[in-house]
Each structure stands twice: as structure tokens, then as C-alpha cells.
Structure 1
Amino acid sequence: MLTAIILINVERTRVNEVASELADMPAISEVFSVSGPYDLIAIARVRENEALAQLVTERLLTIDGIAKTQTLLAFKAYSRHDLEAMFSV
């Protein structure tokens, strides 16, 4: 399973609509509205590189209002739950 973090700049008047469209996509597990240089962050979870390539280079292009994206590929996930399990006796 591949996880990608997609940083998204959106036209100001379309943030809610774009977030909703992203959340409806099967490959997108979560969408966050954020402060800072980006408007939305989407978490994509796919089985293979080809699915991620299709999502980023084809599917996202169909959403009106997306101005720019930056995709980060996650190598390993760390969570509080995982760390607590490793150190519990």
C-alpha cells in the first residue's frame, strides 16, 4: 500500500467544493482544510504506483478549482499507537 500526501492550492471560492470532490474519490482517505501556504491536504492510499500516477496526473485535473498540487510520497508511517505498542511492557 502506497501513501501519498497531496498539498493543494485551490481557488478561494472553491475550497469546500474541491474538498468534497476529493473526499468522494476512492483513492483519497482523508481531506484536511489547513492554514498556511496550502488550502487543502489530501491523503491518498493506493496499491501501486500506476494508481497514484493516474490519480495525480489524470483524476485531479478533472476537478475545477485546483490551481496547483505538490505530491509527497510517504516511506514509513509512525503513529502514537505504534510507538506506545513498541515500548509497552
Structure 2
Amino acid sequence: MVHAYILIQTEVGQAATVAGKIAQIEGVTTAEDVTGPYDVIVRAEAENVDLLGQLVVARIQNVDGITRTLTCPVVHL
């Protein structure tokens, strides 16, 4: 199982709406609106890196109100 944090910037005033929509997507374990340079932080999981990429590109980035994402895969050193 691969986990990642996805940092999301949204259009002004859209953070709570975007977080709510993303929280409903299968593979997303948490989605919270936050303050700072990013508006929403998501924790997601998938069986492998390819499926994680598909989750981000095909499902999460298609949510209305998102302007930019940054995916940070979790590594265990």
C-alpha cells in the first residue's frame, strides 16, 4: 500500500467545498481545509504508485475549485 499527502491550492473561498468533495473520493482517507500556503491537505492511499497517480490526476485534480496540487508520497527510510 502506498500513502501520500496531497497539498492543494484552491480558488478563493473554495477550501471547505473542495475538501468536502475530495473526502468522498475512494482512496482518500482524510481531507481537511487548513491555513497557510495550501488550502486543503489530503491523505490518500492506493495499492501502488501508478494507482496513486491515477487517483490524483483522474479524480482529485478534476474537482472544481482546485488551482494546483503537490503530491508528497510517504517513504519509509
Per the normalisation by structure 2, the TM-score is 0.90
Q: Which runs of 5+ in 2 are unaligned?
A: none
Matched residue, 1:51 = 51
Q: Identical aligned pairs, as a percentage?
A: 34
Runs of at least 4 residues off by over 3 Å: none
> Displacement, 1:34?
1.4
- Measured against aligned partners, the alpha-carbon deviations of 1:17-50 in whole angstroms (never above 9, x if no partner) come to 1111110011100012212100010000111112
Q: Which has the higher strand share?
A: 2
Matched residue, 1:66 = 66
Matched residue, 1:20 = 20
Larger radius of gyration: 1
Q: Which has the higher helix share?
A: 1
Whether the 8 Å contact between 2:25 and 2:59 is mirrored in structure 1 is no
Q: Which amino acid aligns with 1:38?
A: Y
What is the alpha-carbon root mean square deviation over aligned residues?
Answer: 1.1
> Displacement, 1:60?
2.0
Matched residue, 1:39 = 39
In the alignment, the residues of structure 2 paired with residue 64 and residue 30 of structure 1 have an alpha-carbon distance, to the nearest angstrom, of 18
Whether the 8 Å contact between 2:61 and 2:69 is mirrored in structure 1 is no
